[in-house]
Amino acid sequence: MESQNDIMYFPVDCVTLHDLYDWSRRRLDSSEVVVCGGEARWQSSVSLRSPSRKVSLRTGRLVTVNEQEVALFRYGNVVYAISEHCPHAGGPLHIGDIESLPDYLCVKCPYHGWKFDLKTGKCIHPRTRQDMSAVVYPVRVCPTSGSLAIGFTEFSPHYFNTLVE
């Protein structure tokens, strides 16, 4: 664990940058119809480019760090971390889609379509609920190994719970 400016960074076990689906390549990775000699067929570049099934799945990744469930998303060489549960109805954000809007990069909750800015956690849609937000965490990516560390301002209280009889 590292510390910087009141933020403690906890390593993410078993997941690196290279294990995460790159949402910036979404348009390149989608299946498309190719017409050859008047015959239409499906062509998917995902299976050709992604040797790991985990990387080719269009989802984020659920991890537990500092006793917190966190959804990780990759967009290019940047990794975003947001609380796993949608603040509206508890939906699993790690299986939500990423949408690139003019001013925001958002995760869309799979339950009711609420959208949260991956940088600030602010609710973008519905606009009438901008008072709600999800917790976002800073992420460090090691440039050589791709290993990840998520930043927290405090230790989870679960570390200090003890049973006294």
Q: Are 143 and 18 in contact (CB under 8 A)?
A: no
Taking phi over 0 as left and psi of -120 to 50 as alpha, with beta for the rest, 82 belongs to: beta
pTM for the model stands at 0.78
Distance set, CA 82 to CA 33, 37, 86, 123, 156 (Å): 35, 47, 9, 12, 16
What is the domain-level CATH number for residue 54?
2.102.10.10
Q: What pLDDT is attached to residue 56? A: 55
The domain in which residue 113 lies consists of 2-154
Tell me, yes or no, whether 18 lies in a domain: yes
The Cα 98–Cα 82 span in angstroms is 12
For residue 158, give both structure tokens.
Answer: 């679960």
Q: What pLDDT is attached to residue 109? A: 94
Q: What pLDDT is attached to residue 58? A: 83
> How many Å from the N-terminal Cα to the C-terminal Cα in the chain?
32
For residue 157, give both structure tokens.
Answer: 């209280």
Tell me, yes or no, whether 162 lies in a domain: no
Number of domains in the chain: 1
For 74, other C-beta atoms within 10 Å of its C-beta total 25
3-state secondary structure labels for all residues of the chain? CEEECCEEEEEEEEEEHHHCCEHHHHHHHCCEEEEECCEEEEECCHHHHCCCHHHHCCCCEEEEECCEEEEEEEECCEEEEEECECCCCCCEHHHCEEEECCCCEEEECCCCCCEEECCCCEEEECHHHCCCECCEECEEECCCCCEEEEEECCCCHHHHCCCCC
Q: What pLDDT is attached to residue 101? A: 83
The Cα 49–Cα 118 span in angstroms is 26
Q: What pLDDT is attached to residue 33? A: 41
Q: What pLDDT is attached to residue 164? A: 56
Tell me, yes or no, whether 10 lies in a domain: yes
Extract the residue ranges of the chain whose pLDDT is less than 70: 1-4, 27-56, 162-165
Tell me, yes or no, whether 163 lies in a domain: no
Tell me, yes or no, whether 67 lies in a domain: yes
Tell me, yes or no, whether 164 lies in a domain: no
Tell me, yes or no, whether 84 lies in a domain: yes
Q: What pLDDT is attached to residue 1? A: 65
